Amino acid sequence: MTSSATALKDSLSFTDLLPSGQGVARDGARVVFCFGVLPGEKARVRITTAKKTYAVAELVEIEEYSPERVDPFCPFFGACGGCQAQHLSYPAQLRWKRRMVENALQRIGGIRDVAVRETIGMAQPRAYRNKVSLVVEHESEGERIGFYRFRSHEVVAIDGCPVAKARLSEYMGILASAPPESAVGEALHDARHVVARSDEEGGAVLSVTTAHRSERLAAAAPALLAALPGAKGIVNSYEPRSENAVLGRKNVLLCGEEQIDEEIAGLRFRVSPASFFQVNGEILERIFGVARQELLPVHRAVDLYCGIGTFTLFFAREGAEVIGVEEHVHAAEEARANAQLNGVERRTRFRAVRVEEWSRSREGVAALAEADLVFLDPPRKGSDEATLRAICKARSPRIGYLSCDPATLARDLRLLVANGYRITNVTPFDMFPQTGHVETLVTLAAL
């Protein structure tokens, strides 16, 4: 049963911070969640929603401040749902993310005897995102461009983002200030979302999502391209699977180029706005460095959930024969093209099929049995039990698991450890500074 209350609570001591950015305190036997408060702080809060075991509160006043509190550098922090931790010093963010991984391994995975390394972060944890996904909301006076509030479909208007690459932040300002009658306004008339990706040189490609193929966008695309400095191409993505889907099922290039080139640790990747590719090139290079130490040498590898072939190419360049498995046909096509771009097409094969289906197929069973490394980079929901059991049955000597969610990682590690593997390394990476997200590379060896 839920109730609302307006009772003030004085001097609650906050001891933890959730990935959502909510501080955690205890009021007797009840847990209290409140945005804006950090561990080590005492605060007065107002209970807004109360249940038997927990309550949600809003901040009234901080009475004792944490020494790790800093001033947020973005004027939209607290309204925009993109960042959760700009008020926490960066060294403290790195320690917080390490604790997230430790807690998940212990509570969910039952893994208590493995040391988690310190989180590997960035030298300058701003202006790192090479991709942004903007929401377009249509109002009588024109289009409203921005990001969603946390756990909401309310749009917060944004005219720049300090965690995005400078070029992408510049585009936000141009799109946000465009009059409805301008060429940019015309291009946005049918838009639901705008997805932009930038390279290190300041070039960028954009994808504009519409309900149906937009002739109005097609007519305005050349002018939109000209209005965006460094822009190389405009794509119309259309027929989304749902009302809130960011990208459509179909894409058509309207003008310029559909892809940009990115180079990470000597590997070249040709990517589009829709490509599954890491948003932080500096941290991806650091992941490559740890993978080189922990997982090489490799002779035969299987790369599951391979996307555009990021790690398939990495292992192939190191001399391995690699099979990459990716259910999205377009991503698998991009992976093949990237293998050719890097001259490793003879050492790579790609299969456009669901991972769980492939792992049970004749080819999959044989490939897993022959591999001396199985590498997984699954989506946030983690891998599926059938695939993990197929890996265990094949008894591959080594496993590399790259995860963007500590909870599903811990769940999957619990199964692998229970079926004959030991964890040899756990390294968190700050792929998304200023947020509650953490990337983790785990390596395992067969007993």
Any idea which residues carry the catalytic annotation?
Answer: 404
Q: How many CB atoms lie within 10 A of CB 212?
A: 11
Cβ(160)–Cβ(169) under 8 Å? yes
The residue behind tokens 């960066």 is 90
CA nearest 361: which of 338, 394, 409? 394
N-term to C-term CA, the chain? 49
CA distance 398 to 135: 42
- In the DSSP assignment, the letter for residue 108 is T
Q: How many CB atoms lie within 10 A of CB 169?
A: 19
CA distance 413 to 422: 9
The pair of structure tokens assigned to 15 is: 């001891």
Strand order in the sheet with 131-139: 155-157, 142-148, 131-139, 191-198, 204-210, 231-240, 248-256
Cβ(325)–Cβ(302) under 8 Å? yes
Q: Give the strand pairing for 30-35 and 54-64.
A: parallel
CA distance 245 to 259: 21
- In the DSSP assignment, the letter for residue 129 is B
Cβ(164)–Cβ(312) under 8 Å? no
Counting Cα atoms < 13 Å in the Cβ hemisphere of 295 gives 35
Burial pattern 350-363, b for ≥16 Cβ within 10 A else e, equals bbbbebbebbeeee
The pair of structure tokens assigned to 237 is: 């993505």
CA nearest 402: which of 347, 349, 363, 441? 441
Beta carbons within 8 Å of 203's beta carbon, 6+ residues apart: 167, 230, 231, 232, 260
Q: How many CB atoms lie within 10 A of CB 53?
A: 8
| Cis preceding linkage at 125, omega within 30 | no
